[in-house]
Protein backbone atom coordinates (compact mmCIF):
# COMPACT_ATOMS: atom_id res chain seq x y z
CA UNK A 1 0.00 0.00 0.00
CA UNK A 2 1.39 3.37 -0.97
CA UNK A 3 2.38 5.62 1.91
CA UNK A 4 1.23 8.97 0.49
CA UNK A 5 1.36 10.77 3.88
CA UNK A 6 5.08 9.92 4.22
CA UNK A 7 5.82 10.95 0.63
CA UNK A 8 3.84 14.18 1.11
CA UNK A 9 5.82 15.01 4.27
CA UNK A 10 9.04 14.38 2.35
CA UNK A 11 7.99 16.65 -0.54
CA UNK A 12 7.22 19.47 1.89
CA UNK A 13 10.46 18.94 3.82
CA UNK A 14 12.46 18.99 0.57
CA UNK A 15 10.77 22.25 -0.50
CA UNK A 16 11.68 23.74 2.88
CA UNK A 17 15.27 22.47 2.55
CA UNK A 18 15.55 24.04 -0.91
CA UNK A 19 14.09 27.29 0.45
CA UNK A 20 17.03 27.56 2.86
CA UNK A 21 19.35 27.77 -0.15
CA UNK A 22 19.33 31.48 -0.89
CA UNK A 23 21.37 34.35 -2.29
CA UNK A 24 20.14 36.62 0.51
CA UNK A 25 20.60 35.25 4.04
CA UNK A 26 17.45 35.21 6.15
CA UNK A 27 15.03 34.98 3.22
CA UNK A 28 14.46 32.86 0.11
CA UNK A 29 15.81 34.66 -2.94
CA UNK A 30 17.27 32.52 -5.70
CA UNK A 31 17.92 34.29 -8.96
CA UNK A 32 18.88 32.88 -12.35
CA UNK A 33 22.27 31.08 -12.31
CA UNK A 34 23.25 32.63 -8.97
CA UNK A 35 25.57 30.98 -6.40
CA UNK A 36 22.45 29.68 -4.58
CA UNK A 37 21.25 28.11 -7.82
CA UNK A 38 24.50 26.13 -8.03
CA UNK A 39 23.95 24.87 -4.48
CA UNK A 40 20.29 24.05 -5.24
CA UNK A 41 21.42 22.09 -8.30
CA UNK A 42 23.79 20.02 -6.17
CA UNK A 43 21.03 19.06 -3.74
CA UNK A 44 18.50 18.35 -6.49
CA UNK A 45 21.07 16.32 -8.44
CA UNK A 46 21.68 14.19 -5.35
CA UNK A 47 17.94 13.50 -4.97
CA UNK A 48 17.40 12.89 -8.69
CA UNK A 49 20.31 10.46 -8.96
CA UNK A 50 19.10 8.59 -5.88
CA UNK A 51 15.78 8.18 -7.73
CA UNK A 52 17.62 6.60 -10.65
CA UNK A 53 17.60 9.59 -13.02
CA UNK A 54 20.37 10.48 -15.48
CA UNK A 55 21.06 14.12 -14.61
CA UNK A 56 22.47 16.97 -16.71
CA UNK A 57 22.40 20.76 -16.70
CA UNK A 58 21.56 22.23 -20.10
CA UNK A 59 23.01 25.45 -21.52
CA UNK A 60 20.27 27.74 -20.11
CA UNK A 61 20.80 26.18 -16.67
CA UNK A 62 17.75 23.89 -16.57
CA UNK A 63 18.51 20.85 -14.41
CA UNK A 64 17.15 17.76 -16.17
CA UNK A 65 16.81 14.19 -14.95
CA UNK A 66 15.89 11.40 -17.37
CA UNK A 67 14.21 8.11 -16.54
CA UNK A 68 14.72 6.24 -19.82
CA UNK A 69 11.81 4.44 -21.46
CA UNK A 70 11.80 0.84 -22.71
CA UNK A 71 13.35 1.85 -26.05
CA UNK A 72 15.78 4.58 -27.11
CA UNK A 73 13.01 6.27 -29.09
CA UNK A 74 10.21 5.79 -26.53
CA UNK A 75 7.89 8.78 -26.30
CA UNK A 76 8.83 11.10 -23.48
CA UNK A 77 6.71 12.81 -20.81
CA UNK A 78 8.22 16.02 -19.44
CA UNK A 79 7.38 16.94 -15.85
CA UNK A 80 8.60 20.29 -14.61
CA UNK A 81 8.39 23.66 -12.95
CA UNK A 82 10.90 26.34 -11.97
CA UNK A 83 13.41 26.73 -9.13
CA UNK A 84 14.21 30.44 -9.44
CA UNK A 85 12.24 32.73 -7.12
CA UNK A 86 11.07 36.30 -6.72
CA UNK A 87 12.92 38.29 -4.01
CA UNK A 88 11.92 37.16 -0.50
CA UNK A 89 9.82 34.30 -1.82
CA UNK A 90 8.05 31.34 -0.27
CA UNK A 91 9.14 27.70 -0.49
CA UNK A 92 6.55 26.29 -2.90
CA UNK A 93 6.00 28.48 -5.97
CA UNK A 94 7.97 26.43 -8.51
CA UNK A 95 9.93 23.94 -6.37
CA UNK A 96 6.71 22.13 -5.38
CA UNK A 97 6.16 21.10 -9.01
CA UNK A 98 9.72 19.80 -9.30
CA UNK A 99 9.68 17.89 -6.02
CA UNK A 100 6.18 16.48 -6.53
CA UNK A 101 7.40 15.36 -9.97
CA UNK A 102 10.35 13.65 -8.33
CA UNK A 103 8.05 12.01 -5.75
CA UNK A 104 5.82 10.71 -8.58
CA UNK A 105 8.85 9.15 -10.25
CA UNK A 106 9.96 7.62 -6.93
CA UNK A 107 6.44 6.28 -6.39
CA UNK A 108 6.29 4.72 -9.86
CA UNK A 109 9.73 3.15 -9.49
CA UNK A 110 8.78 1.63 -6.14
CA UNK A 111 5.79 -0.09 -7.74
CA UNK A 112 6.23 -2.82 -10.31
CA UNK A 113 4.28 -0.99 -12.99
CA UNK A 114 6.07 -0.75 -16.32
CA UNK A 115 5.76 2.26 -18.58
CA UNK A 116 5.71 2.67 -22.31
CA UNK A 117 7.29 6.12 -22.10
CA UNK A 118 10.38 7.87 -20.72
CA UNK A 119 10.01 10.61 -18.10
CA UNK A 120 12.20 13.72 -18.02
CA UNK A 121 12.03 15.87 -14.89
CA UNK A 122 12.98 19.50 -15.57
CA UNK A 123 13.83 22.11 -12.93
CA UNK A 124 13.56 25.26 -15.07
CA UNK A 125 16.30 27.79 -14.31
CA UNK A 126 14.24 30.92 -14.86
CA UNK A 127 10.54 31.65 -14.87
CA UNK A 128 10.02 34.74 -12.71
CA UNK A 129 12.08 37.12 -14.86
CA UNK A 130 13.79 38.89 -11.95
CA UNK A 131 17.49 38.93 -12.90
CA UNK A 132 17.18 39.92 -16.59
CA UNK A 133 13.72 41.52 -16.36
CA UNK A 134 12.30 39.02 -18.83
CA UNK A 135 10.56 35.79 -17.79
CA UNK A 136 10.49 32.13 -18.97
CA UNK A 137 14.13 31.87 -20.12
CA UNK A 138 14.25 28.15 -19.23
CA UNK A 139 11.06 27.09 -20.98
CA UNK A 140 11.64 29.35 -24.02
CA UNK A 141 15.02 27.65 -24.56
CA UNK A 142 13.32 24.25 -24.26
CA UNK A 143 11.08 25.02 -27.24
CA UNK A 144 13.78 26.84 -29.26
CA UNK A 145 12.12 30.24 -28.83
CA UNK A 146 14.77 32.07 -26.83
CA UNK A 147 15.47 35.09 -29.07
CA UNK A 148 19.22 35.52 -29.81
CA UNK A 149 18.95 39.20 -28.72
CA UNK A 150 17.97 38.05 -25.25
CA UNK A 151 21.53 36.80 -24.71
CA UNK A 152 22.72 40.43 -24.78
CA UNK A 153 20.33 41.60 -22.04
CA UNK A 154 22.14 42.82 -18.94
CA UNK A 155 21.34 42.38 -15.28
CA UNK A 156 21.61 45.19 -12.68
CA UNK A 157 25.37 44.57 -12.43
CA UNK A 158 25.88 44.95 -16.18
CA UNK A 159 26.49 41.21 -16.70
CA UNK A 160 24.94 39.90 -19.93
CA UNK A 161 22.81 36.77 -20.06
CA UNK A 162 25.50 35.13 -22.24
CA UNK A 163 28.19 36.02 -19.66
CA UNK A 164 26.05 34.73 -16.79
CA UNK A 165 25.75 31.39 -18.61
CA UNK A 166 29.54 31.24 -19.11
CA UNK A 167 30.19 32.28 -15.50
CA UNK A 168 28.11 29.30 -14.37
CA UNK A 169 30.39 27.01 -16.39
CA UNK A 170 27.94 26.54 -19.24
CA UNK A 171 28.29 27.42 -22.93
CA UNK A 172 25.75 29.56 -24.83
CA UNK A 173 26.89 27.81 -28.04
CA UNK A 174 25.30 24.65 -26.63
CA UNK A 175 21.81 26.22 -26.47
CA UNK A 176 20.50 24.13 -29.41
CA UNK A 177 20.98 21.01 -27.23
CA UNK A 178 18.59 22.57 -24.68
CA UNK A 179 15.65 22.00 -27.06
CA UNK A 180 13.27 19.22 -26.02
CA UNK A 181 13.89 15.78 -27.48
CA UNK A 182 11.71 15.14 -30.58
CA UNK A 183 10.15 12.24 -28.62
CA UNK A 184 8.71 14.68 -26.04
CA UNK A 185 4.96 14.11 -26.40
CA UNK A 186 3.55 15.66 -23.24
CA UNK A 187 4.31 18.17 -20.47
CA UNK A 188 2.85 18.01 -16.95
CA UNK A 189 3.26 20.86 -14.46
CA UNK A 190 2.07 20.96 -10.86
CA UNK A 191 1.90 24.40 -9.20
CA UNK A 192 0.27 26.18 -6.31
CA UNK A 193 -2.85 28.10 -7.33
CA UNK A 194 -1.49 31.46 -6.07
CA UNK A 195 -5.06 32.64 -5.53
CA UNK A 196 -7.98 32.22 -3.12
CA UNK A 197 -10.46 30.17 -5.20
CA UNK A 198 -9.69 26.60 -4.06
CA UNK A 199 -9.47 27.62 -0.43
CA UNK A 200 -12.81 29.42 -0.72
CA UNK A 201 -14.38 26.27 -2.20
CA UNK A 202 -12.59 23.97 0.27
CA UNK A 203 -10.95 21.91 -2.46
CA UNK A 204 -7.45 20.43 -2.64
CA UNK A 205 -6.90 20.40 -6.38
CA UNK A 206 -7.95 21.89 -9.69
CA UNK A 207 -7.18 21.08 -13.28
CA UNK A 208 -6.08 24.09 -15.33
CA UNK A 209 -8.06 24.50 -18.54
CA UNK A 210 -6.18 27.47 -19.95
CA UNK A 211 -3.74 30.17 -18.99
CA UNK A 212 -5.64 33.44 -19.25
CA UNK A 213 -4.75 35.91 -21.97
CA UNK A 214 -3.68 39.39 -20.89
CA UNK A 215 -3.90 42.90 -22.24
CA UNK A 216 -1.94 45.65 -20.52
CA UNK A 217 -2.41 49.28 -21.37
CA UNK A 218 -0.76 52.54 -20.35
CA UNK A 219 -3.19 55.49 -20.33
CA UNK A 220 -2.55 59.22 -20.13
CA UNK A 221 -5.33 61.57 -19.03
CA UNK A 222 -4.59 65.19 -19.98
CA UNK A 223 -6.65 67.99 -18.44
CA UNK A 224 -5.50 71.39 -17.35
CA UNK A 225 -3.46 72.13 -14.22
CA UNK A 226 -4.67 75.19 -12.37
CA UNK A 227 -4.90 76.81 -8.96
CA UNK A 228 -6.91 74.70 -6.51
CA UNK A 229 -8.18 77.74 -4.66
CA UNK A 230 -9.13 80.13 -7.46
CA UNK A 231 -10.72 77.72 -9.97
CA UNK A 232 -14.37 77.09 -9.02
CA UNK A 233 -15.86 73.62 -9.09
CA UNK A 234 -17.74 72.72 -12.26
CA UNK A 235 -17.05 73.15 -15.98
CA UNK A 236 -14.15 75.59 -15.54
CA UNK A 237 -12.08 72.72 -14.17
CA UNK A 238 -10.43 70.04 -16.33
CA UNK A 239 -9.29 67.72 -13.56
CA UNK A 240 -7.42 64.74 -15.05
CA UNK A 241 -7.42 62.78 -11.77
CA UNK A 242 -11.16 63.21 -11.21
CA UNK A 243 -11.71 61.88 -14.75
CA UNK A 244 -9.33 58.94 -14.19
CA UNK A 245 -11.03 58.15 -10.86
CA UNK A 246 -14.51 58.10 -12.39
CA UNK A 247 -13.20 55.76 -15.08
CA UNK A 248 -11.42 53.46 -12.56
CA UNK A 249 -14.70 52.98 -10.67
CA UNK A 250 -16.32 52.06 -14.01
CA UNK A 251 -13.48 49.53 -14.68
CA UNK A 252 -14.33 47.73 -11.46
CA UNK A 253 -18.11 47.88 -12.02
CA UNK A 254 -17.89 46.69 -15.57
CA UNK A 255 -15.41 43.83 -14.92
CA UNK A 256 -17.50 42.62 -11.97
CA UNK A 257 -20.45 42.11 -14.32
CA UNK A 258 -18.50 39.62 -16.49
CA UNK A 259 -17.88 36.33 -14.61
CA UNK A 260 -14.30 35.11 -15.06
CA UNK A 261 -12.92 38.44 -16.27
CA UNK A 262 -10.49 40.41 -14.11
CA UNK A 263 -9.52 44.04 -14.74
CA UNK A 264 -7.17 46.03 -12.54
CA UNK A 265 -5.77 49.55 -12.45
CA UNK A 266 -2.62 48.86 -10.44
CA UNK A 267 -0.73 52.10 -10.79
CA UNK A 268 -1.82 55.73 -11.01
CA UNK A 269 0.53 58.71 -10.98
CA UNK A 270 0.11 62.48 -11.02
CA UNK A 271 3.44 63.70 -12.39
CA UNK A 272 4.40 66.97 -10.70
CA UNK A 273 1.26 66.85 -8.58
CA UNK A 274 0.87 69.11 -5.56
CA UNK A 275 -1.75 69.52 -2.84
CA UNK A 276 -2.89 72.93 -4.10
CA UNK A 277 -2.92 72.19 -7.83
CA UNK A 278 -5.75 70.68 -9.91
CA UNK A 279 -4.14 67.61 -11.55
CA UNK A 280 -3.34 68.36 -15.20
CA UNK A 281 -1.82 65.02 -16.21
CA UNK A 282 -2.49 61.53 -14.85
CA UNK A 283 -0.92 58.28 -16.04
CA UNK A 284 -2.43 54.92 -15.23
CA UNK A 285 -2.13 51.26 -16.12
CA UNK A 286 -4.89 48.79 -16.99
CA UNK A 287 -4.48 44.99 -16.77
CA UNK A 288 -7.31 42.85 -18.25
CA UNK A 289 -7.28 39.03 -18.17
CA UNK A 290 -9.62 36.26 -19.26
CA UNK A 291 -9.27 32.69 -20.54
CA UNK A 292 -11.55 33.67 -23.47
CA UNK A 293 -9.76 35.96 -25.93
CA UNK A 294 -12.93 37.41 -27.45
CA UNK A 295 -14.29 38.30 -24.00
CA UNK A 296 -11.00 40.00 -23.06
CA UNK A 297 -10.82 41.96 -26.33
CA UNK A 298 -14.43 43.12 -26.05
CA UNK A 299 -13.87 44.20 -22.44
CA UNK A 300 -10.78 46.22 -23.37
CA UNK A 301 -12.70 47.97 -26.16
CA UNK A 302 -15.58 48.71 -23.80
CA UNK A 303 -13.26 50.10 -21.10
CA UNK A 304 -11.50 52.35 -23.62
CA UNK A 305 -14.88 53.60 -24.84
CA UNK A 306 -15.98 54.38 -21.32
CA UNK A 307 -12.71 56.28 -20.72
CA UNK A 308 -13.47 58.36 -23.82
CA UNK A 309 -17.04 59.07 -22.64
CA UNK A 310 -16.00 60.01 -19.09
CA UNK A 311 -13.22 62.26 -20.40
CA UNK A 312 -15.30 63.98 -23.09
CA UNK A 313 -17.78 65.03 -20.41
CA UNK A 314 -14.93 66.61 -18.41
CA UNK A 315 -13.02 68.08 -21.39
CA UNK A 316 -10.07 65.84 -20.56
CA UNK A 317 -8.12 64.07 -23.33
CA UNK A 318 -7.26 60.40 -22.98
CA UNK A 319 -4.68 58.45 -24.97
CA UNK A 320 -3.48 54.87 -24.58
CA UNK A 321 -0.76 52.48 -25.70
CA UNK A 322 -0.84 48.70 -25.49
CA UNK A 323 2.17 47.36 -23.61
CA UNK A 324 1.13 43.69 -23.80
CA UNK A 325 -1.45 41.74 -25.79
CA UNK A 326 -1.03 38.06 -25.08
CA UNK A 327 -3.63 35.49 -26.17
CA UNK A 328 -4.94 32.80 -23.81
CA UNK A 329 -3.13 29.46 -23.96
CA UNK A 330 -5.45 26.45 -23.78
CA UNK A 331 -4.07 23.30 -22.19
CA UNK A 332 -4.19 20.07 -24.22
CA UNK A 333 -7.71 18.54 -24.23
CA UNK A 334 -6.73 14.89 -24.10
CA UNK A 335 -4.14 15.24 -21.34
CA UNK A 336 -6.38 17.57 -19.35
CA UNK A 337 -9.34 15.19 -19.55
CA UNK A 338 -7.10 12.32 -18.39
CA UNK A 339 -5.81 14.45 -15.52
CA UNK A 340 -9.36 15.50 -14.57
CA UNK A 341 -10.45 11.84 -14.58
CA UNK A 342 -7.53 11.00 -12.26
CA UNK A 343 -8.46 13.85 -9.90
CA UNK A 344 -12.12 12.79 -9.90
CA UNK A 345 -11.14 9.18 -9.18
CA UNK A 346 -8.78 10.02 -6.31
CA UNK A 347 -10.81 12.78 -4.63
CA UNK A 348 -14.25 11.23 -5.13
CA UNK A 349 -15.73 14.50 -6.44
CA UNK A 350 -15.83 15.85 -10.00
CA UNK A 351 -12.57 17.68 -10.72
CA UNK A 352 -12.69 21.47 -10.50
CA UNK A 353 -11.55 23.04 -13.75
CA UNK A 354 -10.29 26.61 -13.73
CA UNK A 355 -8.20 29.05 -15.74
CA UNK A 356 -4.85 30.28 -14.47
CA UNK A 357 -4.70 34.05 -14.10
CA UNK A 358 -0.91 33.92 -13.75
CA UNK A 359 1.62 32.86 -16.37
CA UNK A 360 3.50 29.56 -15.99
CA UNK A 361 6.16 27.58 -17.87
CA UNK A 362 3.29 25.40 -19.19
CA UNK A 363 2.05 28.43 -21.13
CA UNK A 364 5.35 28.53 -23.05
CA UNK A 365 5.87 24.76 -23.41
CA UNK A 366 2.28 24.36 -24.72
CA UNK A 367 3.28 26.20 -27.91
CA UNK A 368 5.19 23.07 -28.98
CA UNK A 369 4.23 20.18 -26.68
CA UNK A 370 0.74 19.09 -25.49
CA UNK A 371 0.60 20.37 -21.91
CA UNK A 372 -1.51 19.98 -18.79
CA UNK A 373 -1.42 21.55 -15.33
CA UNK A 374 -2.58 20.66 -11.83
CA UNK A 375 -3.17 23.33 -9.15
CA UNK A 376 -2.96 22.84 -5.39
CA UNK A 377 -4.84 25.05 -2.96
CA UNK A 378 -2.87 28.08 -1.71
CA UNK A 379 -3.72 28.61 1.99
CA UNK A 380 -4.64 32.26 2.46
CA UNK A 381 -4.41 32.63 -1.32
CA UNK A 382 -0.82 33.58 -0.58
CA UNK A 383 2.19 33.42 -2.92
CA UNK A 384 5.37 35.39 -3.63
CA UNK A 385 5.58 35.75 0.15
CA UNK A 386 7.63 33.94 2.85
CA UNK A 387 4.41 32.65 4.47
CA UNK A 388 3.30 30.88 1.27
CA UNK A 389 2.48 27.26 2.17
CA UNK A 390 0.64 24.06 1.21
CA UNK A 391 -1.47 21.60 3.23
CA UNK A 392 0.02 18.09 3.63
CA UNK A 393 -3.35 16.53 2.72
CA UNK A 394 -3.41 18.51 -0.53
CA UNK A 395 0.09 17.28 -1.41
CA UNK A 396 -1.12 13.72 -0.71
CA UNK A 397 -4.10 14.30 -3.01
CA UNK A 398 -1.77 15.64 -5.72
CA UNK A 399 0.47 12.57 -5.36
CA UNK A 400 -2.50 10.22 -5.62
CA UNK A 401 -4.01 12.04 -8.59
CA UNK A 402 -0.61 12.43 -10.29
CA UNK A 403 0.12 8.72 -9.89
CA UNK A 404 -3.30 7.78 -11.30
CA UNK A 405 -2.76 10.21 -14.20
CA UNK A 406 0.63 8.70 -15.09
CA UNK A 407 -0.77 5.17 -14.89
CA UNK A 408 -3.63 6.07 -17.24
CA UNK A 409 -1.39 7.89 -19.71
CA UNK A 410 -0.25 6.63 -23.06
CA UNK A 411 1.86 8.85 -25.32
Residues that bind Zn ion (CB under 5 A): 93-94
Burial of 131 (0-12, 13-18, 19+ CB in 10 A): buried
| Interatomic CA distance for residues 388 and 98, integer angstroms | 17
Cα–Cα distances in Å, from 303 out to 268, 335, 336? 16, 36, 33
Is the Cβ of residue 100 or residue 404 nearer to Zn ion in the bound state? 100
Sign of the four-CA dihedral 263, 269, 275, 279: negative
Min separation Cβ 271 and Zn ion, Å? 34
CB contact set of 6 (below 8 Å; sequence gap of 6+): none
Min separation Cβ 127 and Zn ion, Å? 6
Is the Cβ of residue 98 or residue 242 nearer to Zn ion in the bound state? 98
Min separation Cβ 99 and Zn ion, Å? 13
| Interatomic CA distance for residues 14 and 18, integer angstroms | 6
Is the Cβ of residue 93 or residue 394 nearer to Zn ion in the bound state? 93
Min separation Cβ 268 and Zn ion, Å? 28
Min separation Cβ 320 and Zn ion, Å? 30
Min separation Cβ 33 and Zn ion, Å? 18
Is the Cβ of residue 211 or residue 225 nearer to Zn ion in the bound state? 211
CB contact set of 314 (below 8 Å; sequence gap of 6+): 223, 238, 239, 242, 243, 246
Is the Cβ of residue 185 or residue 329 nearer to Zn ion in the bound state? 329
DSSP string covering 39-100: HHHHHHHHHHHHTT-EEEE-TT--EEEEE--SSTT--EEEEEEE----TT--S-TTHHHHHH
| Interatomic CA distance for residues 293 and 247, integer angstroms | 23
SS3 172: helix
Min separation Cβ 6 and Zn ion, Å? 26
Min separation Cβ 357 and Zn ion, Å? 13
CB-based contact 253:304 (threshold 8 Å): no
Is the Cβ of residue 94 or residue 370 nearer to Zn ion in the bound state? 94
CB-based contact 330:210 (threshold 8 Å): yes
CB-based contact 113:73 (threshold 8 Å): no
Is the Cβ of residue 191 or residue 352 nearer to Zn ion in the bound state? 191
Is the Cβ of residue 211 or residue 303 nearer to Zn ion in the bound state? 211
Amino acid sequence: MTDYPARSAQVIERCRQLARITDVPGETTRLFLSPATREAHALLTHWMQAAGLEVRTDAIGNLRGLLPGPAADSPRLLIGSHIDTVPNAGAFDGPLGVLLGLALIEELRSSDASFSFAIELIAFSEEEGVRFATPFLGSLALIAQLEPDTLQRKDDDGISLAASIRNFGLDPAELPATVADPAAAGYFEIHIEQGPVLEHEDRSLAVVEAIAGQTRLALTFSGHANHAGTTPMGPLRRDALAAASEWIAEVERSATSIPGLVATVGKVEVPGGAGNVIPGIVTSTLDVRDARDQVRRAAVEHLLESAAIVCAKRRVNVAHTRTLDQPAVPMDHRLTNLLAAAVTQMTGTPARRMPSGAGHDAMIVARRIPSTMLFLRSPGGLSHHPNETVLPADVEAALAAGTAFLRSLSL
